Amino acid sequence: MSLGTIGDRLPRKEDARLLTGEARYVDDLQIPGALWVAFVRSPYAHARIGSIDASAAQAMPGVRHVFTGADLRDAWANPMPCAWPVTEDMKAPDHWPVAVDTANYAGDAVAVVVADSRYAAADAVDAVAVDYEPLDPVVDLEDALSDRVLVHEGLGTNRSYTWTLAPEPDAVDRAFAEAAHTVQERYLQQRLIPAAMEPRGVAAVPGAYGGDLTIYSSTQIPHILKIMTAVTCGLPEQKLRVIAPAVGGGFGSKLNVYAEELVAVALARRLGVPVRWTETRSEAGVATIHGRSLIQDIELAADGDGRITGVRVKLLADMGAYLQLVTPGIPLLGAFLYHGVYDVPAYHFECTGVFTNRTSTDAYRGAGRPEATYALERTVDALAREVGVDPAEIRRRNYIPTDRFPYTSIAGLTYDSGNYQPTLERALELVGYDALRAEQQRRRDAGETRHLGVGITTYVEMCGLAPSRVLASLNYSAGGWEAATVSMLPTGSVQVVSGTTPHGQGHETTWSQIVADKLGVDPGQVEVLHSDTAVSPLGMDTYGSRSLAVGGVAVSMAADDVLAKARRIAAHQLECAEEDLELVDGELRVRGTPTRAMTLQAVAFEAFTAHDLPDGMEPNLFGQVTYDPPNFTFPFGTHVAVVEVDEETGMVELIDYAAVDDCGNQVNPMIVEGQVHGGIVQGAAQALWEEAVYDEAGNLRNPTLIDYCVPSAAEVPYFRLDSTVTPSPTNPLGVKGIGEAGTIAATPTVINAVVDALQPFGVTDIDMPATPERVWRAIQDAPQAQEAGR
Amino acid sequence: MNITLSVNGEQQGGDVEPRVLLVHYLRDTLGLTGTNVGCDTSSCGACTVLLDGESVKACTVLAVQADGHEVTTIEGLAPAGDGLHPMQQAFHEEHGLQCGYCTPGMIMAAVSLLEENPSPTEEEVRLGLEGNLCRCTGYHNIVKSVLAAADAGNGAAATTTEAVSS
């Protein structure tokens, strides 16, 4: 068998077109006659929109049209969609693609320019004169909760919802009343800009001979976008085709239905010509959703040995100005995980969502789970300090014992499988934990100014979104299934049609390996089609580390169906019992009589001609599966970070990092490792470098990549990776998901290391990102420093 | 303004607006869309091309400034046919790319880096690629790719290797 079955490090099939520049992202598409769209955006965070004078813009060369929100109001049958009304009484403002009366964040679109070229459109934006009446903005979360200033007057409050998970309220109170130790922490999850390297883009192309319309979008969700466009624009869904061509990263930021996509559709219909828009990076800073942005209050109760007996969590989550596709639901994805990998008997979770005059928040890599893991793992370190034990030891004492899986958690989940402590021990071994602690002490004793810090996180996440019935219980407006069709074509090659929509994850390679493994063919014979609703009409798209655990499993089941049908055909033609057939090197052979055999290719041809099939059998050799997972999957692992902190400058350097992850069975370990590498840097970036900074007036001060510090290769080291394999018992591949693990683990791991380094100063907290200034100030303000009269 | 320049070994030219960026000239006028645009502040390096053999960010060069010069884009890195440049091959083998958007610029920057320093250390690779951002890979495999290309014979030699199977 050639390289390329399950478990092989097969180099990616996607690479050739990406390495040579042949891949086509949205802005690369040559679309004859397309007009360019650009948006006039509010410079105010909150303002009443007065008159809009577009005469100067319209007089400019190459400018075709200028439309205001009022001009386009009749293009919408419904406001923009929020698919996750988390409570019955959730408050949601009407959200129109182009604002009509008020602009509610700096960047809210108030008019649209249509021109012959991208340069002409950009020039004209500056010439549109908008008469704004500035209103007071609300930027701070607690200020928003006070309702001092209302973002949306019509709602009467800034509070969108309060969602509670209180399995046994009395038990929580009792746990805290009886606790030997309690710790209470407050953490700020700063706003983040997802910053996929390809900014968004969309082109809407009307059919030349009819009403059909094709949308090319840099999106993670072509299938969902098609449905939502039909609903918002009032179009028959069958008239729409959505194609996600090459997509340059998403990280959740392209898991949305955006104003610009809907405007492109509306204008293409109104003008009868193709229109296109490409986001600039500065524009992306305000026009594409942000991640995180919440205040976390968390308390742990524990017994005298530091065994956790209760967890109480209260969140104040920033929705931004509007509810985008799944804005209110993001904290709920973490709501069940604030006790993480620990066996905890009492639990209370509450989250309130508030509006602010800022860009909407929504899914960003990990979505709810990094926030939960951060709060818990930092608080567990605080507990270790309180109890006086090593942070590794406090974790050992609290892990859910391996013999308790499947484990029903107090929060109501059933963890499929787990074996946590080996990931901790291996990660500690990889960094040389004991030697590090000795070196740390040596430096402290010697009075050195470069302090060593070691941080630990053990995480569990829920992936494989999602069992549809569970989504129903969370009030989510869709299911969580995934579809796949595997066809063996008459010429013997294999076609896979998948409802997942990769944008860097390598599904073409991974799905090929699954099929190659099942059918005994070479992965080079397998073609994977995806991301075009005309080719792959059924799909729920790619996000939440769901693709392999749901979509890959669907592919595997469809391949099983192909093989089952092939066996029936071969048994019929070879005149033997199905049980007597074995699959060897791509042939179905009669056991004991290897000369009596049919290649799968021959079977596929027989299925195609249908000249001699068993009675009643349908022609063609394909399997089609829509798989609704019975449960989430629960990947886990332990990460350890080593940092050096310079007490004189506050500079933090990440010098070593070990990650031991368990995502169940791995189809392509090379791709798994790549996901972990990227996730670690994205998580470390939240810890050390990235923050969307707003001023009091609600202006984003750092929308560009000059000021928003996405790390480069120079800021990070090589990573030490290892894995354990604890297969998921809930799906036939035993897989779990790995796309978000690195991001989930890395943020608390790095901050725990920074706080650990600062222990000699008595520093127990540092806000993210832990910039040199923040670290330096924390040292200056620390109790020990002040005592010493620094 | 009328300009004449060599792009991937072919003579190109014509009338361009003086303010047009080289990257837009390459993409919109010549249809060479392999060079990507990832920012508007010359921060991300996605648009990196070679100008007379040295890496430049094509969003920071006006098309008219390239008048009379030689430009190499990702499309022109490997000789015609289906082969890959050793740097492209190294990125393939070491899984140095995921979504691929930063990849053309990253590869052009890496080729230029090895041209200046054929045997860089890990640290020198990291510092040398500081102007090119990637959001997917965490740089781990990018650095490995560049070091592998250096090991394989100083990456800048324009020899083709076997095509990637697809």
- Measured between beta carbons, the chain B residues lying within 8 angstroms of A118 are 24, 28
Facing residue for A719 by CB, picked from B75, B132, B140: B140
**Inside any domain, residue B157:** no
Residues B141 and B110 in one domain: yes
Total-model pTM: 0.97
How many CB atoms are closer than 10 A to CB A143?
Answer: 16
Contact yes or no for B133 and A16 at CB 8 A: no
- Measured between beta carbons, the chain B residues lying within 8 angstroms of A2 are none
Q: Is B30 on the interface with A (CB under 8 A)?
A: no
The pLDDT value given to residue A288: 98
Q: Name the band, by pLDDT with cuts 50, 70 and 90, for residue B160.
A: very low
Q: How many domains does chain B have?
A: 2
Question: ipTM score here?
Answer: 0.97
- Measured between beta carbons, the chain A residues lying within 8 angstroms of B46 are 197
Predicted confidence (pLDDT) per residue in A483-505, tens digit: 999 999 999 899 999 999 999 99
Query: Angle, nearest 10°, between helix axes A369-387 and A391-398?
Result: 110
Residues B10 and B69 in one domain: yes
**Inside any domain, residue B30:** yes
Predicted confidence (pLDDT) per residue in A80-98, tens digit: 999 999 999 999 999 999 9
Q: How far is residue A455's CA from residue A777's CA, in Å, rounded to a whole number?
A: 21
Query: Does position A707 have pLDDT exceeding 90, yes or no?
Result: yes
Which of these three, B46, B76, B106, is where a domain ends? B76
Q: Name the band, by pLDDT with cuts 50, 70 and 90, for residue A789.
A: low
Facing residue for A504 by CB, picked from B27, B44, B136: B136
Q: How far is residue A205's CA from residue A203's CA, in Å, rounded to a whole number?
A: 6
**Region for residue A783 given its phi and psi (left: phi exceeds 0; alpha: psi -120 to 50; beta: otherwise):** alpha
DSSP B138: T
- Measured between beta carbons, the chain A residues lying within 8 angstroms of B77 are 20
φ and ψ at residue A627, rounded to 5 degrees: -105, 125
**Inside any domain, residue B129:** yes
**Inside any domain, residue B156:** no
Residues B63 and B113 in one domain: no
Query: Does position A210 have pLDDT exceeding 70, yes or no?
Result: no
Predicted confidence (pLDDT) per residue in B47-99, tens digit: 999 999 999 999 999 999 999 999 999 999 997 766 899 999 999 999 999 99
Q: Is B98 on the interface with A (CB under 8 A)?
A: yes
Query: Angle, nearest 10°, between helix axes A669-688 and A741-757?
Result: 40
The pLDDT value given to residue A788: 61
Contact yes or no for A22 and B34 at CB 8 A: yes
Residues B71 and B98 in one domain: no
Query: Does position B166 have pLDDT exceeding 90, yes or no?
Result: no
- Measured between beta carbons, the chain A residues lying within 8 angstroms of B140 are 677, 716, 718-719
Residues B63 and B129 in one domain: no
CATH number of the domain within which B126 lies? 1.10.150.120
Average pLDDT of the residues in A335-358: 98
For residue A739, what is the nearest residue in chain B, using CA coordinates? Answer: B136
The pLDDT value given to residue B162: 40
Residues B99 and B123 in one domain: yes
- Measured between beta carbons, the chain B residues lying within 8 angstroms of A503 are 99
Query: Does position A392 have pLDDT exceeding 70, yes or no?
Result: yes
The pLDDT value given to residue A784: 74
The pLDDT value given to residue B151: 95
Average pLDDT of the residues in A38-54: 98
Query: Does position B15 have pLDDT exceeding 70, yes or no?
Result: yes
CATH number of the domain within which B70 lies? 3.10.20.30
The pLDDT value given to residue A418: 98
Predicted confidence (pLDDT) per residue in A572-615, tens digit: 999 999 999 999 988 999 999 989 999 999 999 999 999 999 99
Residues B6 and B70 in one domain: yes
Which of these three, B26, B53, B76, is where a domain ends? B76
Contact yes or no for A19 and B125 at CB 8 A: no
Residues B125 and B143 in one domain: yes
Contact yes or no for B136 and A28 at CB 8 A: no
Average pLDDT of the residues in A240-254: 98
Which of these three, B28, B55, B76, is where a domain ends? B76
In terms of DSSP H, where are the helices of A549-599?
553-574
Query: Does position A790 have pLDDT exceeding 70, yes or no?
Result: no
**Inside any domain, residue B165:** no
Residues B68 and B100 in one domain: no
Contact yes or no for A705 and B78 at CB 8 A: no
Average pLDDT of the residues in A386-399: 98
φ and ψ at residue A144, rounded to 5 degrees: -60, -40
Facing residue for B102 by CB, picked from A12, A197, A671: A197
Facing residue for A281 by CB, picked from B38, B132, B135: B38
Mean pLDDT of chain A: 97
Sheet hosting strand A213-217, strand order edge to edge: A63-68, A109-115, A35-41, A275-278, A201-206, A213-217, A240-243
**Inside any domain, residue B106:** yes
**Inside any domain, residue B29:** yes
For the stretch B68-90, what's the b/e string if a residue is b when 16 or more beta carbons lie within 10 angstroms of its beta carbon? ebebbbbbbbbeeeebbbbbbbb
Average pLDDT of the residues in A402-415: 97
Query: Does position B163 have pLDDT exceeding 60, yes or no?
Result: no
The pLDDT value given to residue A201: 98
Query: Angle, nearest 10°, between helix axes A553-574 and A507-519?
Result: 30
Residues B70 and B103 in one domain: no
Average pLDDT of the residues in A46-71: 98
The pLDDT value given to residue A4: 80
Q: How far is residue A95's CA from residue A325's CA, in Å, rounded to a whole number?
A: 11
What domains are there in chain A, each with its CATH number? Answer: 31-135+197-249+254-287 (3.90.1170.50), 291-465+631-787 (3.30.365.10), 481-627 (3.30.365.10)
Residues B16 and B57 in one domain: yes
Q: Is B26 on the interface with A (CB under 8 A)?
A: no
Q: Is B164 on the interface with A (CB under 8 A)?
A: yes
- Measured between beta carbons, the chain A residues lying within 8 angstroms of B145 are none
CA atoms within 13 A on the CB side of A457: 38
Residues B21 and B60 in one domain: yes
For the ranges A224-238, A456-470, B55-69, B76-90, the lowest mean pLDDT is seen at B76-90
**Inside any domain, residue B44:** yes
Query: Does position A624 have pLDDT exceeding 50, yes or no?
Result: yes
Q: Which domain holds residue B125?
A: 86-151
Separation in Å, CA of A29 to nearest CA in chain B:
8
Q: Which of A526, A467, A468, A465 is nearest to A497 (CA)?
A: A526
Predicted confidence (pLDDT) per residue in A271-299, tens digit: 999 999 999 999 999 999 999 999 999 99
Contact yes or no for A20 and B139 at CB 8 A: no
Question: Taking a C-beta distance cutoff of 8 angstroms, is the pair A69, A98 a contact?
Answer: yes
Query: Does position A304 have pLDDT exceeding 70, yes or no?
Result: yes
- Measured between beta carbons, the chain A residues lying within 8 angstroms of B104 are 19, 21
Q: Which of A192, A335, A319 is nearest to A251 (CA)?
A: A192
